Amino acid sequence: MRVPESWLREFVDLDWDIEQIAERLTFSGTSVEDILRPFNVSGEIITARVIERFDHPASEKLIVCKVDTGKRIYTVITADKTVNEGDYVILALEGATLNNGLKIEPREFKGVISEGMLCSLEELGLEEKSDRVYRFPDPVELGVNVVEEYGLNERVLDIEITPNRPDCLSIIGVARELSALSGRPLNKPQPDVSFVDEDVQFDVEIEDVEGCPRYSARIMKGVTVKDSPLWMKARLVAAGVRSLNNVVDATNYVMIELGHPVHAFDLNRLKNKRIVVKSAKGGERVLLLDEKEYELKGGEVLITDGENVLALGGIMGGMESGVYDDTRDLVLEVAYFDPVRIRKAAKALGISSESSYRFERGVDPNDVELVSLRLAELIQKLAGGYVLRKFWDVYPRKIEPKKVMLRKARIEKILGTKVEEPGDILRRLEFQVEDRGDSYEVLVPTFRPDVEREIDLIEEIGRIYGYEKVESKVISVPAVNRGWGEKQLFRREISQFMKGMGFDEVVTFSFVDSQKVKKWPLVDREPIALSNPIASDMDVMRTSQFYSLIQVLAENFKRQNRDLKLFEIGKIYFKENGNFREIETLSAMSCGLENPGDYTDKRSVSFYTIKGVLDELFFRLGVNVVYRAAEIPGLFPTRSARIYVENREIGFIGMVDPKLLDEYDVKEDTYFFEIDMELLRKYASKRPAYRPTPRFPAVRRDISFLLPKGFESVKIIELFKKSGGDLVEEVGVFDIYEGKGIPENMVSVTLYVVFRHPERTLTDEEVNKIFEEMVQKAEREFGIRRRF
Amino acid sequence: MEIEAVEKEAIEKLSKISNVQELESFRIEFLGKKGKITGLMKNLKNLPPEERPAYGKRVNELREKIEKLFEEKRQQIQRILEQEKMEKMRIDVTVPGARRKLGHSHPVLKVMEEIERIFVSMGFDVVEGPEIETTWHNFDALNTPEWHPARDEHDSFYITDDLLLRTHTSPVQIRTMLERKPPIAIISPGKVYRRDYDATHLPMFHQVEGLHVDRDLSVAHLKFTLEEFARRMFGEGAKVRLRPSFFPFTEPSFEVDVYLSGYGWLEILGAGMVDPNVFLNVGYDPEEWTGYAFGMGVERIAMLKYGIADIREFVRNDVRFLSSY
């Protein structure tokens, strides 16, 4: 809402300057976002009259004028050859600045010096595009500075009005706020209209009373539709509205001033001389003033003449019944429409107008008469004509002011401070207040649809009283509170672990590209689609964090960050048996050097290093997992695995398919894992039990096996653990080697076994014997052989 | 005098010794069992008995002297050897270390944890809830009925007509109130979604919202909580002011500005007293209970704290950006 300062001051007489006004409004709930200067013009821009006009001696495109300002006569050159002797014009003199930033100075045009410039409305900021020098329609006093006279030095409050305050979508509403804040009286408009008695055949009927509880019409005849005077243009432009013609401008002016949208029809364009307000059935087609045709959905409030649709009630007028240059007689509509009905219709049709914006928030049903008179007064002033005395006002069920009880003790209970004379604050806001001892009985004016309850009144009192006067009081909270829960603490522990492992924490959008999910379905889950995505590549909720991390990785790769360790603890989303599920997961993606800052370590990330991270995590949490080779679309088939705990899958790991990486222009081997955080936490609750620190020395033996590719060496490890019995403390991998000296399609895997007896030192002989048996058993069982 | 000759020779030779081998040869030549000093003792028997004690004494003195000089020499050579060995092992200690990198926190999550920590230390419980929410929890229960213009303020991502990505974490407050009896003091951190994407808006961002319900809570308590938060988050000098505003779920409602030196007043939070309708929707008696609620955008605070101008930096996740946190 843009509120020109001069307009505001017409309704309330304040000592405050505009900055103080802005401050007081802002701290009482009417937030002033900015103080604007809508016109960028200054200096000597004055009214003048062309007294002589002749052709430019050297140019066919220019004319030379002698212009009288009442004090002096200036020679001015212009390209608008329609300028004539006797025209009243606006002359910008040396030192003046025009709206486009142009500074006026004497300038020579082909041998003739122009001492100033004849201005168009565009140059004054009053019109978006002008092609002519502005001519006053009637004689004006000469030498008057138009910047001051028409408020082109105006300042405008740019106010953000919250949706609960439709009353403040008007100059009078903002003035009322200032009246309440300052204690100065609110000067409401008192329209002065003279009426003519004339019989006319006209009628108003409301069929859709629910959608339109009140409809009034007034008839004016003999108006002249033309350009609005400058003061009107200046006001409207300052308020952010385009000037069209005097009648339409008057309707906009009244709407801005009083907050009640109104409409003018051309009486002679109504086929039947009546208004019937109906509810749309659906399927009707209407051509509105925005020059677009709409097909109605049904339920819209229609203003008709019984047969033809004249306007979409409360939203926009129709093209056919509109006011044009040839309009002589008017029907002035001031109505009240149901907010929800207007909102539904505006939303369904995708129209938002100044009118619908106000009606859907709620305008005053009981100011109709005042608004109608103000409109008639203004049109008469601008367009002449006469007003018929008869006023058609159909209002079957009057909307009465609400009565609300306000307990005095409740004010302090909510606001936390004692307010002196709260009743006076409400009275200044035009509430009627009766003191009933412990309570006030309050009658709420109908321009305040937001005030219905006691709490709404307390809010009014608080914001006008001023919250800076509330002293803070120390709180006490329930002692049973525990702060972070187990889930949050676990998440933090995992996050710390990952950072400790060198992984950077990232934050990514939860929605990803459905095309990628479809093409590379890493997890077999039904994605959840957004019905209104913000972009086509952010149209489904991710079924794996993979799709998010690969984007981060690729984006970094493009920016030459090529040694990457990324992780995210976030949610994945999917549909399951008709339910919408969201599960928190830990995911990590990595490529490039294992330790980029460490020049002593030239290793690249590998399946084994990223798996090592997970294994340490599982060890820390005491989770026993089993990896099983698996083919996972999006991961490389022979380098990926699913991870199980107690036969339940808790995640997967693998090398990203290079074909997929190509799509993202990533040229490094990349590895990924994803773990279900909820399952991880579930199994992690079984932390490792206490084991006494060993007292006797261990004996270690290594053995290398030559294994065919694809042989899962974990089988040997399991066998060793079993066949070695209690003496085997640990079995692990010491080395994996393939290449030179090893036959093709074979791998050399060196395992180590740690033997220990809890109560004595083992001898070499007994260990050798047991170990040899273990190795032979493995050879027999798996048909493999040791490597010497 | 043979003693003087041996002494002279020994001292002269000793002075020329430069390595361990020479040192050992010297020891054998002079101090060994068959060495020259031992040899001098053998002359003893050729001397008249009265001269013997004096002679013997002088030979012993010589031995002690040479042994002492020998020991000095030995230590000197030892030192040289060690020096040489150390020189061989010399490295450039000023060369940068072979650095092992710890991972970095994401600044938004770091700030979110900081906010959580403040409220946890003030005694609030931390609660979470689903991101895919029902419109009832996200809007209706929060006093924002279907045709309320305030629904427009949150341009939402819908999944079905009744399900959407939550536009704030307030539905967690509804869920908590439906589960627990008052009094309660909770905060709900988490991801929220709105259809907006530019230099100051992300379609997914983080919020921390708080709710405190008890028998006699007023705007004065809300003010205290926000002031205390501001002091702990931004420093003791931080001040708070309330600007009346509108949210459907609180009444009165406020935009909350925090004063930070060097910045001035900045809009950081929204807050208010819980609207009685919200209490009615969760079965709390608004006559018995009052409460305040507040909410803040974590990205906004992180931007202020770290001086980040473009909010999109947070989701770009450039590791060079992350490495500052």
For residue B250, give the CATH number of its domain.
3.30.930.10
Q: Residue A343 — φ and ψ, nearest 5°? A: -65, -40
Q: Which two tokens stand for residue A218?
A: 């007034």
Q: Which two tokens stand for residue B86?
A: 């150390």
Closest CA to A673 of A592, A595, A583, A613: A613
CB of B90 less than 8 A from some CB of A: no
Please give the angle made by the CA atoms of B289, B291 and B293, to the nearest 5 degrees: 155
Amino acid in the structure at residue B145: P
A564 contact partners, CB below 8 Å, separation of at least 6: A504, A553, A556, A557, A589, A590, A591, A592, B319
Q: How far apart are CA B214 and CA B209, in angstroms?
A: 17
- B155–chain A nearest CA distance, Å: 10
Closest CA to B74 of B36, B35, B21, B32: B21
Q: Which two tokens stand for residue B188?
A: 């709900």
Q: How far apart are CA A605 and CA A562, in angstroms?
A: 11
Kindly state whether residues B151 and B285 are assigned to the same domain.
yes
Sign of the Cα torsion A66, A70, A72, A78 reads negative
How, if at all, do strands A195-196 and A386-394 pair? parallel
Q: Where do we find the tokens 């012993």? A: B60
How, if at all, do strands B125-126 and B184-193 pair? parallel
DSSP-assigned beta bridge partners for residue B201: B198
Q: Which two tokens stand for residue A143?
A: 């030498």
Q: What is the DSSP string of B141-175?
A: GGT--TT-GGGGGS-PPBSSSSEEE-SSSHHHHHH
- B133–chain A nearest CA distance, Å: 10
**How is residue A63 annotated by DSSP?**
E
* Owning domain of residue B220: 107-322
Domain membership flag for residue B39:
yes
- Quote the pLDDT of residue A7: 96
Domain membership flag for residue B232:
yes
Domain membership flag for residue B213:
yes
Closest CA to A202 of A221, A189, A188, A187: A221
B-chain residues near A552 (CB < 8 A):
317
Q: How far apart are CA A115 and CA A152, in angstroms?
A: 22
A484 contact partners, CB below 8 Å, separation of at least 6: A492, B116, B120, B126
- Quote the pLDDT of residue A613: 97
Comparing CB atoms, the residue among A26, A477, A561 nearest residue B122 is A477
Comparing CB atoms, the residue among A416, A502, A582 nearest residue B218 is A416
Q: Torsion-angle region of residue A732: left (phi > 0), alpha (psi -120 to 50) or beta?
A: beta
Which band of pLDDT confidence, cut at 50, 70 and 90, is reported for residue B262?
Answer: confident
- State the CB neighbour count (10 A cutoff) for residue A767: 20
The number of residues making up chain B comes to 325
B-chain residues near A554 (CB < 8 A):
none
**How is residue B27 annotated by DSSP?**
I
Cβ of A477 within 8 Å of Cβ of B102? The answer is no
Q: How far apart are CA B310 and CA A440, in angstroms?
A: 51
Kindly state whether residues B187 and B238 are assigned to the same domain.
yes
Kindly state whether residues B144 and B82 are assigned to the same domain.
no
Distance of CA A160 to the CA centre of its chain: 15
Q: What is the CA radius of gyration of chain B?
A: 43
| Closest chain B residue by Cα to residue A533 | B157
Q: Residue A413 — φ and ψ, nearest 5°? A: -60, -40
Domain membership flag for residue B227:
yes
Q: Which residues of B230-246 are buried (b: 16+ CB within 10 A; e: fewer)?
A: bbbbbeeebebbbbbbb
| Closest chain A residue by Cα to residue B104 | A504
Cis amide linkage into residue B252, ω under 30° from 0: yes
Write the burial class of residue A205 (CB in 10 Å: 0-12 exposed, 13-18 middle, 19+ buried). Answer: middle
Q: What is the CA radius of gyration of chain A?
A: 41
Q: How far apart are CA A484 and CA B321, in angstroms?
A: 29
Q: Which two tokens stand for residue A421?
A: 């004379």
E-strand stretches of A455-517: 504-505, 511-512
Domain membership flag for residue B93:
no
Q: Which of the residues in chain A have pLDDT under 50?
A: none
- B167–chain A nearest CA distance, Å: 14
- B244–chain A nearest CA distance, Å: 4
Closest CA to A676 of A545, A569, A549, A584: A584
| Closest chain A residue by Cα to residue B299 | A507
Domain membership flag for residue B98:
no
Kindly state whether residues B219 and B301 are assigned to the same domain.
yes
Residue A94 in marked binding region: no
Closest CA to A342 of A332, A334, A352: A352
Cβ proximity of A310 and A275 under 8 Å: yes
Cβ of A508 within 8 Å of Cβ of B315? The answer is yes
In tens, the pLDDT along B152-210 reads: 666 899 999 999 999 999 999 999 999 999 999 999 999 999 999 998 899 999 999 99
Q: How far apart are CA A21 and CA A4, in angstroms?
A: 12
Domain membership flag for residue B95:
no
Instruction: Indicate whether B149 pLDDT > 80.
Output: no
- Helix pair A246-258, A230-238: axis angle to 10 deg: 50
Helix (H) or strand (E) holding A50: strand A45-55
Q: Which residues of A177-198 are buried (b: 16+ CB within 10 A; e: fewer)?
A: bbbbbbebebeebebebeeeee
CB of B103 less than 8 A from some CB of A: yes
Q: How far apart are CA B88 and CA B78, in angstroms?
A: 15
Cβ proximity of A578 and A572 under 8 Å: no
DSSP-assigned beta bridge partners for residue A585: A570, A676
Kindly state whether residues B47 and B143 are assigned to the same domain.
no
Comparing CB atoms, the residue among A339, A414, A561 nearest residue B319 is A561
Three-state secondary-structure class, residue B52: helix
Q: How far apart are CA A552 and CA A589, in angstroms?
A: 10
Our count of domains for chain B comes to 2
Kindly state whether residues B173 and B314 are assigned to the same domain.
yes
- B75–chain A nearest CA distance, Å: 38
3-state secondary structure A412-443: HHHHCCCCCCHHHHHHHCCCEEEEECCEEEEE
CB of A602 less than 8 A from some CB of B: no
**How is residue A184 annotated by DSSP?**
P
Q: How far apart are CA B295 and CA B207, in angstroms?
A: 7
Kindly state whether residues B116 and B184 are assigned to the same domain.
yes
| Closest chain A residue by Cα to residue B185 | A477
Kindly state whether residues B38 and B142 are assigned to the same domain.
no
Kindly state whether residues B111 and B80 are assigned to the same domain.
no
Cβ of A597 within 8 Å of Cβ of B100? The answer is yes
Kindly state whether residues B226 and B130 are assigned to the same domain.
yes
CB of B49 less than 8 A from some CB of A: no
Please give the angle made by the CA atoms of A50, A53 and A57, to the nearest 5 degrees: 145
Cis amide linkage into residue B183, ω under 30° from 0: yes
Q: How far apart are CA B230 and CA B224, in angstroms?
A: 10
User: Final residue of a domain: which of B36, B53, B88?
Assistant: B88
Cβ proximity of A204 and A221 under 8 Å: no
Distances (CA, A) of A601 to A201, A575, A598, A640, A705: 98, 45, 6, 25, 27
Domains defined for chain A, CATH in brackets? 2-37+154-182 (3.30.56.10), 45-149 (2.40.50.140), 195-394 (3.50.40.10), 402-469 (3.30.56.10), 486-684 (3.30.930.10), 699-786 (3.30.70.380)
Q: How far apart are CA A605 and CA A593, in angstroms?
A: 6
CB of B193 less than 8 A from some CB of A: yes
Q: How far apart are CA A53 and CA A55, in angstroms?
A: 7
Helix-strand-coil split of chain A, %, nearest 5: 30, 30, 40
Q: How far apart are CA A655 and CA A633, in angstroms?
A: 11
Ordered strands of the A386-394 beta sheet: A195-196, A386-394, A214-221, A330-336, A262-266
Kindly state whether residues B283 and B217 are assigned to the same domain.
yes
In tens, the pLDDT along B31-77 reads: 888 888 888 888 888 888 888 888 889 888 988 999 999 999 999 99
Size of interface A-B (CB pairs under 8 A): 250
| Closest chain B residue by Cα to residue A600 | B98
Domain membership flag for residue B100:
no
Which band of pLDDT confidence, cut at 50, 70 and 90, is reported for residue B111?
Answer: very high
In tens, the pLDDT along A527-572 reads: 999 999 999 999 999 999 999 999 999 999 999 999 999 999 999 9
Kindly state whether residues B117 and B33 are assigned to the same domain.
no
B-chain residues near A481 (CB < 8 A):
123-125, 185
User: Final residue of a domain: which of B88, B117, B141?
Assistant: B88
Three-state secondary-structure class, residue A232: helix
Q: Where do we find the tokens 């013009």? A: A41
- Quote the pLDDT of residue A687: 63
